[in-house]
Structure formats: structure tokens, C-alpha cells
Amino acid sequence: MSGRRPADNAASGQPDPKKAKVDIPAVSKPGAPLDMATIRAQIAARKAQLEAAAGRSTPISASGSAIPASTSAPGPAALPPRPSMDSSIADKLAAAKARIEALNARAANPYLSGSGSMPSTSTQNSSNGQPGVSSIALHPLLMGQNSGQQQQQQEIEKNEKKAMRDRYKTMAPKFTSVKANAATLETSGSARASPAAPILNPYASTPTASGSGTPIPDEEKAPIRRSKKLQFSRAGKYVAQGEQLRNEQKMEALRKRIVEASRKAGLDSEFDTLERSLKRQPPPEVEWWDKAILPEGKGYEDLEEAVEFMTTHQDSLITHLIQHPIPIPAPGDKKQPERGLMLTKKEQKKMRRQRRQAELEDKRDRIKMGLLPPDAPKVRLANLMKVLTSDAVQDPTKVEAKVRKEVAQRAHNHEKDNAERKLTSEQRKEKEYHQLVARERKGIHGAVFKIKYLTNGRHRFKIRETAKSDLLSGVCIFHPKFALVLVEGVDKSIKHYKKLLLNRIDWTEEARPLNDNEAEEKDEEDNESRPNGNGNTEGEGPESLEDNKCELIWEGEVPERTFRLFRARHAETDSKAKEWLTPKWEGMWDLAKRWVWQGEE
């Protein structure tokens, strides 16, 4: 046996021309199905030839022939030289190695196309009349050379893909306080902790996870048995069940005793009749509300004939006429009392005149019929001679005195009646108060006024007393620069107060000088308020009130009253003024400070 390497063309898949060709049976075409028995026979024959060649070359080397220089020195660890390999087997091994490398490259890079990385050995072999390598499956032993590396690479790729897929998921807490979540967490934890599924050996007699033919005792794990949770029954549950069972037993015993006693007394027939009567009767063939509509002798099975009878027969209760039941009004649908008609002043006077005229006509008719005595003649000095013709001529002085007395009596009676109908001051105030309260239910209105100078005492008196009489609440704030008046009340009172401040009061009127006694009385009245600066009554005020004015800066509707009474307060600073106005109205102070007087823009 020679120690030379095969030629380069042999490694590339071409047969060596220097060597004698080995007779290999013809192989079927790549498209035809493979015969495994033939292939195995060829492999066995080739193996026998190689063993025979190796046996012939061994004694030659032992007899003293020249040993090639490529062999190692003699020693205990020296091995025999590697036998030469046939070119066809070398070609197959090279093709198998190339296929394994291509599979490894494809597993390492999933984005690499498989068709481009595979060696095109099938075309070369097909030209030589041999089947393609890609059409022959690899031996399992060849596939298992790099199975460990491939499995590790697949696990790494799987973990990377899972991390990329779960990178946007919300991180779940590692603890839980809910039993359902705890169970879910245990299940997910066990699934996460379970190792990867083992690769089974398909060529073993009894496939196991370890790959050996015999199972290992550690691999046969017993199923996990979980203990059930305690479930406590409610108090008295079984006591109630026992009581119910005992009651049923007592009733059954009582029924048996009654049956035995009835049999001894000869009452079996009556109890049988009672039992039959207690049984529920079967439903009738036709309900009672349908008997009047359906024809006699017909049931629900003959609906077509019944419909024809109801629509065409003269004796049918169903006709083309429609019955309209009389509607009965519900208790809540009763008519509400109508509100009185709203009339103008002119219409009210006309209605009063017509009513009085109708009453007078009715009274005259009663006098004509004799039901009422006639009224005494209404004599005046103007119609004295027409009414009392003869008496006035006989004694005119006496008649004139009598007529004057009657006129005075009538005037006195008239005044007396008016005085009786007139309300007292307390009643009048109470009536006005109730009217304002009734109007207050419709809504509360507010108004804010800015006054340039409020130094005149008469003006302050009118502002204060008019607000009290109109039942207005609010505050009047005196500031060194101006005065602010805020009022709340019904729309009628606000309208009257606006007319007072904007039209009736002459703000340019100078204060009249007061005497000593009048000044003392004025001080006693105004002891509750001592304004400074703008409203100063003790010091010197403005030289002239020619440019004094009052303007309305805000008016509108408010949800409720903020102040209970109308009071006057003094504020030297803005914070104090806002404190008197309360947080609901403090914005009006800023509005008043920004307000520009009309004509001074």
C-alpha cells in the first residue's frame, strides 16, 4: 500500500486517472427511488476489499521492506500508517462535510439563504453519471457530530428572539397578594424553570431522555400532588340538614300511622280519592279564553279552519268593527288650576267698571221687584232745586242746612271706610317684606358702583337708608382714592337703587355747613364710621366736587347672598378692602382700580 496522497482532482470530486477504476455497479438516476439493500451491499463489498488490501500490505512491511519516511518512529505509541481511501468514498465524505458546514452556517445566520450556501456537487456528479449528494440522506452518526453545537446555537437564538419579542411587555411584580395571581405566578415560574425538552435518540431500542437504551430511575419522576385548601362550612349548616332530615322522618312516620288508622277504620277509598284530587290536572285541550273564539269541537290543532271560521263565518265574534274603549284619566293627569289672566292697568280698570255696572243693574232690578228698599235721594247743592222742588221753595234755609249735613255725613262715611281698610305701618312693612321675599325666590341680582368722592354726609345717609328700606345687603368701602358700593337683592330693589345713585343724587352738590348742635348730632349718628382721606369728615376733603361722579361698573345675577346686612367699612390698603369684600367679590376691587372714568380716557 502506498503512502501517497490522492491527487487534487480526486479531492475535488473527479476520479484519479492513474489508478485503476473499481467496478461499481450502476446507480439509478437521481430521480429514481433508492434501493437501500443495494447500497448496503455495495458498502459491505467495498469494506471487504479494503480489509483484504490492508492484510496483504502488513507482512511486507514486517519482512524488512523499506518503510516510508512519513511513518513515525517505532515505539509503544506508534500507529500503523493510514490506509489509502478510494476516490468515490472521499468524494462522498467531502460532500457530506460541505453539507454539514452549510447547515451550520444556516443555523448561525437565519437570514442567510439556504440555496446560495449549499455546494453545487449534484451537477458535477450528475455529469459523471452519479447521483447528487443532496438527494441522499446523511447518516445519523454524521449528523450527530455537531449536534451539541447546533443545539446550543439554537437555544441562544431562541432566547434572543424571546427577549426581542418581550421587550415592550410590562414588567410583572415578583410578589403577589391575590390567590389567583399567586397560582398564575407559580404556574409561570414552574414553566420558566423547566429545562429544555431533551433530544431523543431515534435509533435506540427504548428512547429515553438521556439517550441510552435503558431508562434511569432519576428520569421517572412521580406526579406532584398538591394539597387541597381548607374550606370551612358555615355555622349551623349540618345542624339544619339534620333537622330537615328528622322532620321528614317524622312526617313519614305520621303519614304511615294515619294510613294504618284509616285502614283499620275502613277509610281507604276516601284517602285514595283525596290523593287523586291532589294530583295536578292535565292542561285542557282548549283554554277558556279561546272557547268563545274557536268553533265548537275544534282545538289548537285545527288553526287553519279556526282562522277561516273567525274571518268568514257570521257567528264569529271577530268582525271588521273596531271597539274604542273609553279612556279613564289617571289620578296624576288631573287638570291643574289655571293661572289668572295677566291684564294691563287699562284692562284692569275696564274690567272693574264693567263689574260695578253689572252689580248696579242687578241692584236696580231687585228694587223694582220690591226685594230691596229704594235708596234715599242723593241731594247736593247743585241738584237741590231739582230733587226738592216744593220743600226747597217753602224753607230754603232749612233744606240747605239739611243737604249740607248729608254731604258731610257721606264724606265722613267714605273716609271712615277708607281708614278701616288702610293697613297699619307694621302691616304695610310686613306686606312689602313678604313681597320682596317672594320675588327673591326668582333670583338674586347684584350691582357694584364706584364713587369718586363720598364726603357729603347727606349722600352717605341716602345710600345707607335706601339700601336698608329696599332690603339690600352689601358693603360700602371707603378708600383714600375712591369709594366702592356693592349691593345684593331682588331685581326691583336693584332697579330702584340704580336710579337713586345714577340719576337722583346730585354728586356735585356741596355739603351744607352745620351748626354746632347739628354737628354733634351728626357725629353721634356716624359714630360707627370714621373714614379717612376720601371720606374724611374730620379733616379737609376735596376743594370742589365739580368733577365728582358715580358709575356702575358691574351688574348681574348671583346664586345667593354673601352679606346679611348693608354696612360701611374703611380700608386703607387693598388687602384690607379685599378682606371686607370676601373671596367671592374680591375681584371687583381689582376691576374698580382698573376702571377708567367716562370722559377721562
| Residue 482 resides in a domain | yes
Cβ-count burial of 448 within 10 angstroms (0-12 exposed, 13-18 middle, 19+ buried)? buried
Nearest Cα to 91, choosing from 10, 20, 24?
Answer: 10
Considering the domain boundaries, does residue 132 fall inside one? yes
Q: Indicate the residue among 152, 182, 203 that finishes a domain.
A: 152
On the CB side of 442, CA atoms within 13 Å amount to: 9
Q: Is residue 523 part of a domain?
A: yes
Using DSSP bridges, classify how beta strands 483-489 and 550-558 pair: parallel, antiparallel or unpaired.
unpaired
Instruction: Show the domain range for 13.
Output: 8-59+82-152
Question: Taking the model in full, what pTM does it have?
Answer: 0.36
How far apart, in Å, are the Cα atoms of 432 and each of 10, 193, 322, 439? 131, 89, 62, 11
* CATH code (residue 499): 3.30.70.100
With respect to residue 542, please indicate whether it lies within any of the assigned structural domains: yes
Q: What is the pLDDT of residue 178?
A: 54
Distance CA 367, CA 374 (A): 6
**Domain termination site, one of 152, 179, 206:** 152
pLDDT value at position 151?
A: 79
Do the domain assignments include residue 36? yes
In terms of DSSP bridges, do strands 473-478 and 483-489 run parallel, antiparallel, or are they unpaired? Answer: antiparallel
DSSP state of 373: P
> Domain for residue 557, yes or no?
yes
Contact 554, 593 (CB under 8 A): no
Is residue 334 helix, strand or coil?
A: coil
Is 77 among the domain residues? no
Grid coordinates representing 293 are: 273564539
Where b means 16+ CB within 10 Å and e means fewer, 327-346 reads eeeeeeeeeeeeeeeeeeee
User: Is residue 416 a part of any domain in this protein?
Assistant: no
What per-residue confidence (pLDDT) applies to 569?
92
Spatial distance between the Cα atoms of 486 and 567, rounded to a whole number of angstroms? 10
599 CB-near residues (< 8 Å, 6+ apart): none
Question: How many angstroms separate the CA atoms of 509 and 458, rounded?
Answer: 10
Domain count, the chain: 2
Task: Decide: 483 and 451 in contact? Cβ < 8 Å.
Answer: yes
Structure confidence at residue 329 (pLDDT) = 77
Of 100, 125, 152, the residue that ends a domain is: 152
Q: Convert the pLDDT of each residue in 289-309 to its tens digit.
A: 888 888 888 888 888 888 888
Residue 80: closest CA among 60, 109, 104:
60
* Per-residue model confidence (pLDDT) at position 504: 92
* Positions in the chain short of pLDDT 50: 1-32, 59-78, 114-135, 191, 193-197, 205, 207, 209-212, 215-216, 219, 528, 531-533, 536-539
- What's the pLDDT score for residue 374? 92
Q: State whether residue 570 is helix, strand or coil.
A: strand
- What percent of the chain clears pLDDT 90, i.e. is strictly above it? 25
Complete edge-to-edge strand list for the sheet that includes strand 566-570: 550-558, 444-451, 483-489, 473-478, 566-570
Q: What is the pLDDT of residue 524?
A: 52
User: Which pLDDT score, from 0 to 100, does residue 325 have?
Assistant: 83
Beta-strand (E) ranges in 103-217? none
pLDDT in tens, 371-413: 999 988 888 888 888 887 777 778 888 888 888 999 999 999 9
